[in-house]
Chain A
Amino acid sequence: MVEATQTKSKESKNIKIVKDATCTFCGCVCDDMELTVDLDEHRITKAKKACVLGRAWFYEHTIDDRPVVLIDGKEATLEEGIETAAQVLVDAKFPITYGLSDSTCEAQRVAVEIMDIINGSIDTTTSVCHGPSGMAFQGVGESTATLGEIKNRADLVIYWGGNPAESHPRHFTKYAVTPKGMYIPNGKKDRTVVLVDVRRTPSTPLADIFVLIKPGKDFEVLWALRALVKGKKISENIEKDTGVSREVLDDLVSRMKNAQYGVLFFGMGLTMTRGRHFNSGAILSLASDLNEFTHFVAKPVRGHGNVTGADNVVSWQTGYPFGVNFNRGFPRFNPGEFTTTDVFSRGEADAAMIIASDPASNFPKKAIEHMKKIPIISLDAKDTCTSKIAKVRFAVATYGINTGGTVYRMDDVPISLRPAFDSPFPSDQEVLEGIRNRVKELLKGDKARLAA
C-alpha cells in the first residue's frame, strides 16, 4: 500500500512524505526508503535509509532546464521528435536498440515490440555486465534463491570478484551479512564472510577471510575448488599459478561442505576478465556440486536498477535474455553476433536507439567511432556522451522518482515504484509508445522488410 502524505512545514512549503519508496540506483532495489519531497522545489530533500549512492540518486535528480527534444541539436516538439525517430527506424536496414537497464519493465516491453515490428536487434547493458553469466545459465543452470532466503538462512557468504561496499552498499547491511534472519538470529556473528578479489577494497575489512587471487586466474581457482570438493587431485603448482595456497583452498572447501547454507555472490570481476562465461559457468557449477553435501546457491550481483528486469522482459518476449535479432522475422540469440559492442565494432548497424545508457562513454573506441557515423536516437534523464552525438535526443523523466512502474531486484523479485514528484518530461515508456504507434502507421500494418 502506498503511503504518501502531504503536509505544510513551518516554512509553509509543500512537503510530501513517500514511505516505502524504491531506490533504483543499483540492483539491490531497496524498497524501504522514506523520502521527504519538496513539491515547490521539485526535489527530494531527505532520503531516510538510503546509502551514499542512493542519496546521490535521490538528491541529484531534480528538474533540469533543458528542451524535451533536440533534433540535430535544434529544439523541437515531442511530436517532431517521435516522427523523426520513427522515420529513422523504419528507413534503417539494420537498426538496433540498446540499454534499458534504467527503464521500467513497461518501457522495456515497448522497446522490444518496436524491434520486433521493424525486424531489428534488441540488446541491453547485460551484454557488457553479466551477459557471460546469462550464457553460463543456459549452459550449466543456476542453483538460486531470493535475497530474503539468503538473509534468513545463509551462514557462509562468499563474494567473488566484487566490491559491494562501494557498488552495492546495502547488500551487506540489508540482505547478506549483518541482518538477523530466521535461522541466523545473531546476524554477522552467525555468518562467515569470505571475499575473493585481485585487490583489497573497502569491502575487505568486513570479510572474515580475504583471498587475494592473481588477475585472470579465477577460472583456475574455481576449477581447483570443484576438484577438491569432489575429492580429486589438483596441480601442485596451484599457488604459483593463481596466488592462492593449497591450505587456503582446503580450508575453503571444508567451510563450504560444512556450511548449513552457503551462497556464492559473484561480480564483474568474473565476467569482464579472461574466461568470461567460463568463469560464470565454473562458479555456478561449484554451487551445484556443493549441493551433494549441503545447500548452496550462486547469484550474480547485478549493477543497474532494472538490468534484471531487462533480462526478464526480453526473455518473456523473445525467449532469450539479450543479444536478440529479428532480422529473419523470428528471434535469434547469438552473443558476439547480435550484441551491441560487436554490431557497432563491425560497423553493421545503420541506426540505433539508445535508452537510459551511455555506450558512447563505456564502449570500446572502435564501437564509439561507428556510433558517430549513424543516426542515434537517445532517451535519457541526463545528458551523456551518447545524447551529445544523438540525431534525436529525448529528455525523459527519471524512473522511480518521477514515474511509477515495475523493476526487478537482482534476485528476480519484481518491485513496484512509488514516484516522488511529477516531471515536465515524458516517461521513456510514453516516448517509446509514441514511436511504436508512428512506426506502425508508417509501415501500414506490415512488418519491416525481412532479410533475404
Chain B
Amino acid sequence: MVETMILVPGRSQKQGTSLVAGKLKDEYKRVTSTAELNEKDMRRLKLKDGDKIRLKSDVGQTVVTCIAKKDADLPSGMIFIPYGPPSSELMAHDTAGSGMPLSKHMEVKVSKV
C-alpha cells in the first residue's frame, strides 16, 4: 500500500544533542532516520513501531524507521522527522528565487519496506 503524505522535517532535542556529539556518529544517524507517523495512519498502513518505511519524493527516496504519535499530537497525513541527511535526500532544489528550498512541506509517497 502506498499513500501520499506531507513530510515536515524539524528540530528535536535529541537531534540537537546528537549533532553536537558528532554528525557522523550512530546516535545522530539513528535520530535523523526515525520518522513519526499518526497512529491511525500506521494502523491503516499495517505498520508498527520500529518498522521500516520508504519515503519517496519527486527527487529522491530514503528508508527510515517509523514510530507512532497520538492522533491528537500529529494530524493524520503528516509525518515528522528530525532534520538530517535522510530528509535532505527528499528535498527539491528549486528555491523559487528565494535561496530557500521547501524543507518543511514536502509531498512524499509512503510505503512499508
Contacts and interface: CB of A to CB of B under 8 A. Distances in A.
A341 interface: yes
B53 interface: no
Contacts of A358: 23
Band of interface residues on B: 35 or more
B113 to A, nearest CB: 20
A60 to B, nearest CB: 5
Nearest to B85: A361
Interface in B69-88: 72-75, 78, 80, 83-85, 88
Interface in A93-140: 123, 127-128, 131-132, 135
Given A167-B16, A200-B74, A365-B59, A215 B8 contact: yes
B1 interface: no
A365 B88 contact: yes
Contacts of B84: 361
A272 B24 contact: no
B11 interface: yes
A166 interface: yes
Contacts of B80: 199
Nearest to B22: A382
Contacts of A336: 95-99
Contacts of A322: 99
A52 B17 contact: yes
Contacts of B75: 198-199, 212
Contact of A365 (B8, B72, B78, B89): B89
Given A215-B6, A269-B104, A127 B99 contact: yes
A190 interface: no
A260 interface: no
Nearest to B92: A364
Contacts of A385: 23-24, 85
A37 to B, nearest CB: 17
A274 B102 contact: yes
B91 interface: yes
A277 B105 contact: no
A166 B31 CA distance: 14
B60 interface: yes
Contacts of A361: 23, 84-85, 88
A222 to B, nearest CB: 16
Contact of A60 (B13, B20, B85): B20
A272 B103 contact: yes
B48 interface: no
Given A167-B11, A167-B16, A273-B105, A365 B91 contact: yes
B101 interface: yes
14 contacts: A128-B101, A199-B8, A199-B80, A277-B98, A335-B95, A335-B97, A339-B95, A341-B93, A341-B95, A361-B23, A363-B101, A364-B93, A365-B60, A383-B23
